[in-house]
Structures are given as C-alpha cells and as structure tokens.
Amino acid sequence: MSNFNWCHSPKCHTHKTQDRVRGSKGSKVLRTRKVAQNQWNENSFFKYFCSNSCYNDFANTYIERIIAIAPRHTPLETPIDDPKKVKHTSNYTFSDGSQHTWTSTEIKERGVDTTE
C-alpha cells in the first residue's frame, strides 16, 4: 500500500500554486497534489483531500451522488430526559461586589449516566 493518495477534488489541478507546477521547460502542467497518509489524517476526510477548499469543491460537485448512497426520508431522534435549567456563578467578583451569573440548559440522553 502506498503512503499517499492523490487529492480527489475535481478542481485541485486548476489551482494556481507553485507546488502544483510540474514538467520540463516548455511543457509545464498544474498537477493534482499528493496527500500523505499519516496518523493525523488516518480517520478523517483529509486523507483524500489536500485542503478544505478541495474538499468543498468535491462536496459541492458530487453532493447529489453522495446523498443518493444513503438518503434520509425520516428524521433521526435521540431520547432525552426533561432538560434542566442550571444557574452558574463565576468566581470573579466585580468592583461593586456582584458576580457574573448565567443559566445553561442541561440535556442528558435518556438512560445514560454521566456521573462517575
């Protein structure tokens, strides 16, 4: 198995950057970039694309085909317990003696115990 992939973007070879220029004098071309395979990108789409721009070009070009692989006709749902409002207070005390407070909503999936 090789330790690189060619970028899968349909437009990668059209981006005018110096690292894509290949060939001898008089017959230069812009070439698709190689994408090194390493631990950083082994579990992400970056093992097939050299940049976020190239990923976006691919997704925008092929989105209808991608969705056709696994179309969704109904929404997904995750059962949750009733949400609880939680009031928080900062440790910082302002010059007038007050403290910053805010409220957040705690949402827990039903049947999942998050305490350890």
Identify the pLDDT of residue 53. 94
Residue 4 has pLDDT above 70, yes or no: yes
Element spanning 101, H or E: strand 99-106
Per domain, the residue ranges of the chain are 4-69
pLDDT tens digits for range 77-115: 999 999 999 999 888 888 888 888 999 999 999 876 656
Q: How far apart are CA 34 and CA 5, in angstroms?
A: 6
How crowded is residue 57: how many other Cβ atoms within 10 Å of its Cβ? 20
Q: How far apart are CA 50 and CA 24, in angstroms?
A: 24
Identify the pLDDT of residue 115. 60
By DSSP bridging, strand 21-22 and strand 84-93 are: unpaired
- 99: three-class secondary structure by DSSP: strand
pLDDT tens digits for range 30-51: 999 999 999 988 899 899 999 9
Q: Which residue has the tokens 């207070």?
A: 89
